[in-house]
Amino acid sequence: MSEEKRRILIDNTARNIEPVTKNIKYRHAAHCYLADQEYGMRFSEAANLDFEKVKTLAQLTNNELNQATMNPDM
């Protein structure tokens, strides 16, 4: 994927996920990081999330991640 297409993907995703609660943003960011570390980092930045927290969440099992991101106010 070209740099321009990556930028568009991240910008569109961050914009469309804006109204979602923070816990779901963190859950999505952890999945992005697992798919591709750069993608996770860039999405976290675009969504104004703590990237260190995203990396920590990405180390959890899926069940643990779901439990860790249950609180909408996290």
Residue 56 CB contacts under 8 Å (≥ 6 apart), including other chains = none
| pLDDT band of 69, cuts 50, 70, 90 | very high
Average of per-residue pLDDT values in the chain: 97
**DSSP 8-state code for residue 22:** H
> What pLDDT is recorded for position 18?
96
DSSP state of 61: -
Residue ranges of the alpha helices (H) in 1-74? 3-17, 22-35, 37-46, 51-58, 62-68
Where exactly are the structural domains of the chain? 3-68
Q: Is the pLDDT of residue 74 over 90?
A: no
Q: What are phi and psi of 17, to 5 degrees?
A: -90, -5
> Quick check: 2 pLDDT over 90?
yes
> pTM for the full model?
0.92
Reported confidence tier of residue 73, pLDDT bands at 50, 70, 90: confident
What digits encode the pLDDT tens for the residues 32-43? Answer: 999 999 999 999
Distance CA 25, CA 58 (A): 13
Q: Are residues 62 and 27 in contact, defined by beta-carbon separation less than 8 angstroms?
A: no
